Chains A and B, each alone.
Chain A
Amino acid sequence: MNQTVTKASAVISPLGDSALVITFGDSIQYDIHKQIKTCKDSIELNPFPGFIECVPAFTNLTIFYNPLEVVAAVRKKQKKEFVSPFEVVSSIVQSKLENEQTEKELAHRTVSIPVCYGREYGPDLEYVARHHNLTTEEVISIHSEGEYLAYMIGFAPGFPFLGGLSEKIATPRRSSPRTSIPAGSVGIAGMQTGVYPISTPGGWQLIGQTPIKLFLPQQNPPSLLQAGDIVKFEPISKEEYQEIQAKEGGK
């Protein structure tokens, strides 16, 4: 297996012939998130020839590149012999990692998401409350008092993988998934919480709904949330929900 361990103890390995993965650890930790974010910013700020995009996850960063362009940029110097695009990009990444300073603190943006909890907006709120012997008000206050870090966006456009849910309300997925979940639904699955930006099938326990749009295809970036954002949920009434929804231009 082609693998390189860098000075910063990150491991670089191929994801096929047009992407590579830089792995910084194997568990969900703020420190690892910080290394990933620093590396991502450094590459995006100063992209190499052939760079397409990078995708942060909990423990690693994946870099997509165009092998032809990577090689073309190097070929100018050495003509004949075979040049491996993976090796070219690996060495670029390695030198970036060696020169990086991860000491500085990350700047986090805080995004507040209004949520109307319960009833038709959160059909599983009562189930979650019963499951933990709590009242629905207690579930709402535990959920909305939390601060959540968006480690990554994926699964669906704008869908945040949030860390930081209280164990007091962590609830297993529904035994049979719903075939369609309305856009904006706020759910819980085990220790995770998140918001469905578009309507999809899914098995999460739905506790509320936001009138805010998380996927904005006509804007760049098209996702309201980015990896590294701090997310807070703010309880709102049904009237407030409808008011914001009208302003947002419906869903």
Chain B
Amino acid sequence: MSIRVSKAGLLTSIQDLGRRGFQQHGVIVSGAMDSYSLRIANLLVGNDEKEAGLEVTLVGPTLEIESDCLVAITGGDLTPSINGKPVPMWKPLFIPKGSILSFGPCKTGCRSYLSVAGGFAIDEVLNSKSTYLRGEIGGYKGRALQTDDVLPLSVPAASKPAFLSNELINGVYTSSWSVNYKEFVHFTKKPAVRVINGSQFDLFTAESKSHFTQEPFKVSNQSDRMGYRMDGPSLQLQEKKELLSEAVSQGSVQVPPDGNPIILLADRQTTGGYPKIAQVITADLPLLAQVKPGESIYFSHISLHEAEKIYLEKEQLLQELKIAINLASIK
């Protein structure tokens, strides 16, 4: 069972929920930028939500499906099609052997996720299948996918769900329902990204603090999986201060001396020494992951307790979604 890459796309890599537990050794976490979309894609094909899928960025790959398989495509809408015919997202798709899965123009967001029932048959490195591009470990040979790569698939635990037996759409079987993803990730112009105060918030000037939540910030072209560099009003400290390096986290908003904030993302280094003005709440990281370079966002402050409540509510919703998908697939 396998999938062959006939065109690589811009940046397609294997990602799961990250390589946790090794940050004290300097090993970065990696993992899906939009973790909700990956988790939902996995649930749709009957995988554990932690299974690895493909993270597809802006310009998607062309894939030859070399054996019958059940897949789901979630995240940003990169207009996926099978044998040239558009296919729906956010629902399971049964794709017959010999089909060509390709992606077209990017309609919303910028990252799609593809999960395959059973997952990819690749070895874990330090408990994760995530590709750590700089460290050249994990994923497929520690790198982004290239033309002619053949990705081996594991045999799914269960046979294809019952709901796939009825409908036939363009040679592709799918369900009559799809997931309401808007609870988890949405695509709007200038989204508000919620933050709580960073460890060094109080070191910034009053002006910088108010600009931070009142002005838009544009995601610069020098942004990648490591971090988003933001263009906006220059943020300054009340007085110059050299900080010692310390651990950072996904969503830390660091401000280097040039005053342009950098939001640290999945491939962030484990430690940093720049002052942190804010911290993006975990529940909004997927939303941020779908913002393209050139687009703008606003930051909005909330309290730690609000952030925690939102996190727990989303996890509750995801649990409910999991139950609903399970029920739908045994009907």
Chains A and B are bound partners: yes
**Residues of A contacting B252 in the complex (Cβ-Cβ under 8 angstroms):** 15-16
Residues facing B in A136-158 (CB within 8 A) are 152-158
Is B114 an interface position by the 8 A CB rule? no
Which of B156-164, B176-184, B309-317 is the contact stretch?
B309-317
Q: Select one of B24, B282, B309 contacting A153, CB under 8 A.
A: B24
**Residues of B contacting A59 in the complex (Cβ-Cβ under 8 angstroms):** 244, 246
CA distance A58 to B201 in the complex (A): 20
Q: A21-B199, A53-B24, A217-B126 are in contact. Are A85 and B308 (CB under 8 A)?
A: yes
Q: Is the CB of A58 within 8 A of B23?
A: no
Q: Is the CB of A57 within 8 A of B247?
A: yes
Q: Dominant SS at the B interface?
A: mixed
Closest chain B CB from A60 CB (angstroms): 6
B residues whose Cβ falls under 8 Å from a Cβ of A: 20-28, 125-126, 134-137, 196-197, 199, 201-202, 244-252, 269-271, 279-282, 304-305, 307-309, 311-312, 315
Residues facing B in A36-59 (CB within 8 A) are 52-59
**Residues of A contacting B305 in the complex (Cβ-Cβ under 8 angstroms):** 82, 84
Which of A61-69, A108-116, A232-240 is the contact stretch?
A61-69
Is A169 an interface position by the 8 A CB rule? no
Q: Select one of B23, B307, B315 contacting A68, CB under 8 A.
A: B315
Is A78 an interface position by the 8 A CB rule? no
Q: Is the CB of A227 within 8 A of B304?
A: no
B276 (CB) vs chain A CBs: closest residue = A15
Which of B246, B279, B305 has most A Cβ within 10 Å?
B246
Q: Select one of A64, A85, A161 contacting B249, CB under 8 A.
A: A64
Q: Jot down 30 A-B pairs with beta carbons below 8 A, ordered by A.
A: A2-B304, A15-B252, A16-B280, A18-B311, A19-B249, A21-B199, A21-B247, A52-B21, A53-B22, A53-B24, A54-B24, A55-B23, A55-B270, A60-B247, A62-B246, A62-B249, A67-B282, A68-B312, A82-B305, A82-B309, A84-B308, A152-B245, A152-B271, A155-B269, A157-B27, A158-B26, A197-B26, A217-B125, A217-B135, A222-B25
Q: A15-B247, A16-B281, A21-B247 are in contact. Are A64 and B308 (CB under 8 A)?
A: no
Other than the known A15-B247, A198-B134, what 10 A-B pairs have Cβ atoms closer than 8 Å? A16-B279, A16-B281, A17-B304, A17-B311, A21-B246, A155-B271, A156-B134, A197-B26, A221-B25, A222-B25
Closest chain A CB from B237 CB (angstroms): 16
Closest chain B CB from A200 CB (angstroms): 7
Is A215 an interface position by the 8 A CB rule? yes
